Amino acid sequence: MKAGDHLKERLHPFQLSILLYSIQNGLVVYTLPRVTAQYFGTNGWLSIIFIFILVNINILLIATIYKLGKGRSIFEIIEATIPKWVMIPIYLFIICVWIGLASMIMREYIFIMKIFFYPALPAVYFVIFFTLLGFQLLTGGIHHITKAFVVLICFVMPMLALLLYLISEFEFDRFTSFYFKGGTDYFEGSLRVYSAYLGIEVSMLLFPVVDKKWTKSLFIGNFFSLFIYLIVTFMCFGFFSFDQVLNDLYPIMTLFEYTEVSFLSRAENLCFCVFAFKILATTVIYYWGAQKTLENIAGKVKPGLWIILILATGFVLALIPGSVAHVEKWSNWLSNCAILIAWALPIFVLGVLFIQMLRNQMLRETDYAK
């Protein structure tokens, strides 16, 4: 390979589809049946489809930016009109939200793992493990990260086959003919369900390393997430009664506890441990997004220093929460901020592009008049 060829390498659309699926906040799936039942009531699983439509609109905004911006990075687009120093507070806000969200997702997974499997083992060991793996991936760059995710997700997907062993216990009689009866807060519920799709906003930083027709990959990856969420949630609503789903803290864990496989004694243990790869993917891509934003602010600093700073910050933040309730509170607040970024940033960039288009048109008309 010639020097500099790696800089011209583009991510394959298939890799991008897997990347998008892997970075979406999959940990929410363990509480998703309860959340949909709590906030939307009976047949609350349908809310997953409605939120999926909103997410597709969000992806459409990102695809429009790429097309109108002709493949330029969002930083180039913004700073062609707005001075960088004006944008620094916004960049720092995005960085803080992404680092905080990554650390809270990691910490919540560690809390659940400690509760079910390793109650006596200090959480710091798990945080060190995730941090070291994150360092190895981040130092390899986005191409290395993407290729690693394609391999790691291959260990996660076969876990869905275990649901086939529960089909005999599935009953449509457990579904009611009422829709969204007994819901408590549709808006809050929409935010909680939307958080399961978070991660797509980081794809705006991939513009310089993707093919021209990459936007289809975003929709494919998002559809794949919908498929997974619908399968497990629909299965829970048909396997348990509505009250059981409503009162179970982690319905998916309980669902897999009922899985009886001759070659596997505790299916829920294997599934949750393998799911660490999904958590690692989500965490790393948020760290990567924070790294790229920091590099744009101060490009003269070596990338390795930013990686160390980001991982050190995430390490400290992950050790702060003292309980599951505490980490869920922070996760919900940071998820709301991430949703704001996922919508506000594309709309803002589109506004900047619109101003640039008007300015270019006025310049052409002026030159024509001369």
Is 104 inside a domain boundary? yes
Q: In this structure, how many other beta carbons lie within 10 angstroms of the beta carbon of residue 154?
A: 11
Quote the pLDDT of residue 104.
93
Quote the pLDDT of residue 313.
94
Is 4 inside a domain boundary? no
Q: Find the range with the poorest average confidence among 169-173, 196-200, 236-240, 361-365.
A: 361-365
Who wins on pLDDT, 337 or 161? Answer: 337
Who wins on pLDDT, 71 or 269? Answer: 71
Residue 1: pLDDT band (50, 70, 90) is: very low
Distance of CA 131 to the CA centre of its chain: 18
Rounded Cα distance, 21 and 217, in Å: 10
Who wins on pLDDT, 101 or 169? Answer: 101
Quote the pLDDT of residue 262.
66
Is 139 inside a domain boundary? yes
Write the DSSP assignment of 43-70 as a string of letters: TGGGHHHHHHHHHHHHHHHHHHHHHHTT
* Residue among 79, 55, 83 at smallest CA distance from 69: 79
Identify whether the C-beta of residue 126 lies closer than 8 Å to the C-beta of residue 113.
Answer: yes
Quote the pLDDT of residue 192.
92
pLDDT digit string, tens, across residues 222-252 = 998 999 999 989 988 888 888 888 888 888 8
pLDDT digit string, tens, across residues 16-63 = 888 888 888 678 888 899 999 999 988 888 999 999 999 999 999 999
Is pLDDT at 7 greater than 50 in this prediction? no
Residues 6 or more apart whose CB falls under 8 angstroms from that of 38 comprise 44, 183, 184, 189, 246
Work out the average pLDDT over 292-319: 88
Rounded Cα distance, 149 and 154, in Å: 9
Is 2 inside a domain boundary? no
Residue 298: pLDDT band (50, 70, 90) is: confident
Identify whether the C-beta of residue 108 lies closer than 8 Å to the C-beta of residue 300.
Answer: no
DSSP letter at 249 equals S
Residues 6 or more apart whose CB falls under 8 angstroms from that of 245 comprise 33, 34, 37, 236, 237, 251
Work out the average pLDDT over 110-130: 86
Residue 346: pLDDT band (50, 70, 90) is: very high
pLDDT over 70 percentage in the chain: 94
Identify whether the C-beta of residue 196 lies closer than 8 Å to the C-beta of residue 225.
Answer: yes
Is 5 inside a domain boundary? no
Identify whether the C-beta of residue 201 lies closer than 8 Å to the C-beta of residue 345.
Answer: yes
Rounded Cα distance, 165 and 167, in Å: 6
Quote the pLDDT of residue 3.
37
How many folded domains does the chain comprise?
1
Work out the average pLDDT over 108-121: 84
Rounded Cα distance, 184 and 343, in Å: 25
Rounded Cα distance, 313 and 307, in Å: 10
Is 23 inside a domain boundary? yes
Q: For residue 176, give its domain range.
A: 11-369
Q: In CATH, what number is assigned to the domain containing residue 286? A: 1.20.1740.10
Work out the average pLDDT over 179-203: 87
Quote the pLDDT of residue 6.
44
Is 1 inside a domain boundary? no
pTM of the model: 0.91
Is 6 inside a domain boundary? no
Quote the pLDDT of residue 131.
92
Who wins on pLDDT, 248 or 336? Answer: 336
Quote the pLDDT of residue 211.
80
